[in-house]
Amino acid sequence: MGLELIAAIVAAIACGGVALILRKIAGGRLPAWIVPAAAALGLISYTAWSEYSWYGRMVTALPEGVAVVWEDDLPQALRPWTLVAPLVTRFVALDTRQMVAHPAKADLILADAYGFARWRGVDRWIVAVDCTGQRSVRLSAEMKISDAGELEGGEWVPFLPEDQTGVVACRRPG
């Protein structure tokens, strides 16, 4: 976050500096307010670019085999422009390289999931996916999968259309 603040300040100074140089070249015929206006435009432009490109930059940086299964692009009350131009601020990715089937139930898949959110660190958890039952659960310390492949200490959640965890985890090769 600190580096983004510095980058925003640099963008503002650069745009203000360009406006100042143009004002000098024009012999002062450009109004004085053009310098702070250009600085403000640089600051706002960089901030918008940074916010809207964050998701794409993060997804591009994911290693091969890590698939995005959910993204939050719902409109936000404090950002009314997201009604027109949705902004992804959180997403979940599933590590398909480390998925394993339960020894007693081949249609019960265990996989690592990673939660990414703007301005936060990465969260990691294990998700159990019951392909036959079309349901999944985020495992916690209070929950476990028994040797027979049964969930203990928690409740399954049916697959939701906006969450592709089941689609990705239950995908069969070939």
Is a pLDDT exceeding 50 seen at residue 51?
A: yes
Q: Residue 135's pLDDT band (boundaries 50, 70, 90)?
A: very high
- Centroid of chain to Cα 116: 5
Query: What digits encode the pLDDT tens for the residues 54-74?
Result: 999 999 999 999 999 999 988
pTM: 0.83
- Give the burial class of 62: count Cβ atoms within 10 A of its Cβ; 0-12 exposed, 13-18 middle, 19 or more buried: middle
d(CA 96, CA 114): 11
Query: What digits encode the pLDDT tens for the residues 5-19?
Result: 999 999 999 999 999
Is a pLDDT exceeding 80 seen at residue 172?
A: no
pLDDT of residue 114: 97
- Average pLDDT score, the chain: 92
Query: What digits encode the pLDDT tens for the residues 102-134?
Result: 999 989 999 999 999 998 999 999 999 999 999
Is a pLDDT exceeding 80 seen at residue 1?
A: no
